[in-house]
Amino acid sequence: MKKFLISALIVLISLYPAVGHALYILDYSASKNDRFYTGTRSNYIGAAYDFSGVGYSSSGTWATLVSNNCFISAAHYYPAAGSTVTFWATDDKSGPSYTYTVTGGVKIGSTDLWVGWFDSSVDVNSSIARYPVEMLTGYSDYIPQVIYTLGLYQGGGSKQVVGMNVIDNFYTTEVGASTGITAWYDYDNNDSPSVGGNESYLLVGDSGAPSFVDYGSQLALVGIHWAHTDNTPVMGASSVDSFVPSYFDDINAVLAGRGQSLSAVPEPGMNVYGLIIACCLWFRRRRRRQTDYS
């Protein structure tokens, strides 16, 4: 699968790695935004989705599962070898959970993406999600897409929350020792399509956590949290994710070395297949029109 080609801009503003524990959500409420809320609720924004493949480590870092025992995180804030990562089968912490030990990992080129692996496959019965990467034709096809952002509660502690935002733009970004193509989404509560009070901002927290899009009512990975433009959630400030689709081939090469592969949606060739069907239907309709008017 080929990567996209764009003319990228070098960002010349100061960025701050989002290390720590906080995802700011504009109109946060526990019943609406907490992943593991234990009360009665009917308005949870993540109710339709499976977050089971998003794990959290004993060292306070994130792991998003993309194959049987490989995960993606941030190169400056990842679960190190020897730490353990826990996955929950449902959004109920009293239900089944699975814990694995990290045995290694590698940085993807010059980026802030990190691919790590566990000592064994995660839940061989496959109740834990392995996320595909959304691979569209070009960068403009991702704008404006609604994303679901994960992080920890802005008030502190280990409570996991789900916010939303909309992808605004793409840049080549340099922070510290890393450079990579990034997706930017600003904090303005003026998005189209609207995400309402679920507008999120990466505060000093949660590098390595994922951003997803809805693809056919399923989650597909697009970003891993990297940085933000302001240390406070001021209107107009932007959150910055490493853009995973740009590095599909590089990540897949690491997985291939471990006998695994990264999945994509749509699947390679799906668009071509759809075009063939569309052409057949067009010729069929054209033939019908000719028959009707002959």
Share of the chain above pLDDT 70, in %: 84
Q: Is the pLDDT of residue 7 over 60?
A: no
Instruction: Name the amino acid, one letter, at 35.
Output: R
pLDDT digit string, tens, across residues 240-255: 999 999 999 999 999 9
Whether 95 maps to a domain, the answer reads: yes
Q: Is the pLDDT of residue 278 over 60?
A: no
- Residues 27 and 128 reside in one and the same domain: yes
pLDDT digit string, tens, across residues 255-264: 999 999 999 9
In the numeric block, which tokens belong to residue 231?
């240390």
Cis peptide before 17, with omega less than 30 degrees from 0? no
- Residues 126 and 271 reside in one and the same domain: no
pLDDT digit string, tens, across residues 114-153: 999 999 999 877 799 999 999 999 999 999 999 999 999 9
- Residues 49 and 64 reside in one and the same domain: yes
- Residues 116 and 142 reside in one and the same domain: yes
Q: Please give the pLDDT value at position 3.
A: 44
Please give the Cα distance from 110 to 180 (Å, whole number).
7
- Residues 277 and 222 reside in one and the same domain: no
Q: Is the pLDDT of residue 194 over 60?
A: yes
Q: Is the pLDDT of residue 280 over 50?
A: no
Domain count, the chain: 2
Q: Is the pLDDT of residue 191 over 70?
A: yes
CATH code of 73's domain: 2.40.10.120
Q: Please give the pLDDT value at position 90.
A: 95
Listed in sequence order, the residues at least 6 apart from 130 whose beta carbon sits closer than 8 Å to its beta carbon are: 53, 65, 66, 67, 68, 263
Please give the Cα distance from 21 to 270 (Å, whole number).
39
Q: Is the pLDDT of residue 42 over 60?
A: yes
Domain that residue 289 falls in: 264-294
